[in-house]
Amino acid sequence: MAELTYRDALRTTLIEEMDRDPAVLLLGEDIGVYQGTFRVTADLLDRYGPRRVIDTPISELGFVGAAVGMAMLGLRPVVEVMTWNFSLLALDQIVNNAAKVRYFSGGQVDVPLVIRGPNGAGVQLSAQHSQSLEATYSHFPGLFVATPATPAEAKGLLRTAIRGKDPVVFLENAALYGMKGDVPDAEFVIPFGRAEVARPGADVTIVAYSRMLHVAMNAADRLAGDGVDVEVINLRTLRPLDMETVVASVRRTHRAVVVQEQWKPFGTAAEIAASIYEQAFDDLDAPVERVTGADVPMPYARNLELLAIPHEDDIVRAVKKTLNRA
């Protein structure tokens, strides 16, 4: 067990996997000479050379698509998108090629591809650089979507992603890169589709992932002071989605609050809430609450930006609402 930052957990996993398997290679903008925009790939060009650490032109469509072709030939490319906002330039390659080529070829190819980078709001990056795209990508069969919330998850989920046979949308969070946490050594792996009970409780279930997990945990601490015993479920991956763990929790607590940073309409929380209604309707004592970002393009002004993203207060309020104490 070692204490690592989220960033170093990612970086050491890349190193371990590149040492283990020569088929693993990296592509992305400024990941080599520049050392990576968030320094996740710092020093890797020196370690592995330009054939394995490829600085690409600013061509998301081009290099994501090229990585799909590499994966079809048996390599294991790990592509960095500088932020997930830029992945929209490569959306056709991700959705129409990576996600579907196994299916429309009748199972003739594997696509062991990882696309990773920061997702979600930063600080005053405004409308084009602050989006949370997890629901967009979780919509498509053929993709896996991972949302690590801690350094340990960054490592365990990235290793699963790199060793798999399928394209993985690996959504990091810029605000978490500096976060420290204990990370098990060596062969530590977290399988996809297994949510974690991050905090056991009896009164209300909060479902969260990525950075919102930490906001939810803080809210749970505060609620404990008010005598409310909150259970927090950390999803870890959205595709596959571990509804079994969520539903088991809701059956015990009879109340649920789902938290997401993204816009409310057609979002992750809507999918989870609908699944709770389908599978545990009779167990509910209150409607499922959704805590989400405001339904607006992200504003630049700091005060407006703070109004646009979910906070502890919002979660506390939603939990109390399910308890009829609002």
Catalytic residue numbers, as ranges: 60, 129
Q: How large is the angle between the packed helices 6-20 and 151-163, nearest 10 degrees?
A: 30
Which residue stretch of 107-115, 174-182, 213-221, 253-261 sits at the interface with other proteins (rule: CB under 8 A)?
107-115
57 binds other proteins per the rule CB under 8 A: yes
283 binds other proteins per the rule CB under 8 A: no
175 binds other proteins per the rule CB under 8 A: no
Q: How far apart are CA 114 and CA 108, in angstroms?
A: 19
142 binds other proteins per the rule CB under 8 A: yes
76 binds other proteins per the rule CB under 8 A: no
Q: How far apart are CA 78 and CA 99, in angstroms?
A: 16
Element (H, E) at 252: helix 243-253
- For the bound state, the minimum distance from the C-beta of residue 184 to other proteins, rounded and expressed in Å, comes to 18
Which residue stretch of 51-59, 195-203, 214-222, 309-317 sits at the interface with other proteins (rule: CB under 8 A)?
51-59
Q: How does strand 196-199 pair with strand 204-208?
A: unpaired
Among the listed residues 144, 170, 177, 209, the single contact to other proteins using CB under 8 A: 144
At 5, is the secondary structure helix, strand, or coil? strand
> Residue 227's Cα: distance from chain center in Å?
31
Write down how long the chain is.
326
18 binds other proteins per the rule CB under 8 A: no
CA nearest 172: which of 185, 182, 161, 164?
161
139 binds other proteins per the rule CB under 8 A: no
Q: How far apart are CA 98 and CA 92, in angstroms?
A: 9
Distance of CA 278 to CAs 132, 185, 267, 275, Å? 26, 40, 17, 5
- For the bound state, the minimum distance from the C-beta of residue 211 to other proteins, rounded and expressed in Å, comes to 25
Among the listed residues 53, 70, 157, 241, the single contact to other proteins using CB under 8 A: 70
What backbone phi and psi angles, to 5 degrees, belong to 117? 160, 175
300 binds other proteins per the rule CB under 8 A: no
Among the listed residues 129, 163, 222, 251, the single contact to other proteins using CB under 8 A: 163
CA dihedral (218, 222, 223, 225) positive or negative: positive
Per the structure block, which two tokens stand in for 72? Answer: 């079809």
Among the listed residues 92, 226, 244, 313, the single contact to other proteins using CB under 8 A: 92
Comparison of 25 and 269: residue with beta carbon closer to other proteins:
25
Contact 167, 144 (CB under 8 A): yes
CA nearest 202: which of 324, 325, 326, 323?
323
Among the listed residues 88, 91, 109, 175, the single contact to other proteins using CB under 8 A: 109
Among the listed residues 38, 48, 84, 192, the single contact to other proteins using CB under 8 A: 192
- For the bound state, the minimum distance from the C-beta of residue 159 to other proteins, rounded and expressed in Å, comes to 10
Contact 170, 161 (CB under 8 A): yes
- For the bound state, the minimum distance from the C-beta of residue 1 to other proteins, rounded and expressed in Å, comes to 24
Comparison of 30 and 283: residue with beta carbon closer to other proteins:
30
Q: How does strand 204-208 pair with strand 230-234?
A: parallel
Q: Nearest-5° angle of CA 26, CA 27, CA 28?
A: 130
- For the bound state, the minimum distance from the C-beta of residue 274 to other proteins, rounded and expressed in Å, comes to 21
49 binds other proteins per the rule CB under 8 A: no
- For the bound state, the minimum distance from the C-beta of residue 144 to other proteins, rounded and expressed in Å, comes to 8
88 binds other proteins per the rule CB under 8 A: no
User: Under the rule (CB under 8 A), what is the footprint of other proteins?
Assistant: 25, 50-51, 56-57, 59, 61-70, 72-75, 77, 92-93, 96-97, 101-111, 141-142, 144, 160, 163-166, 191-192
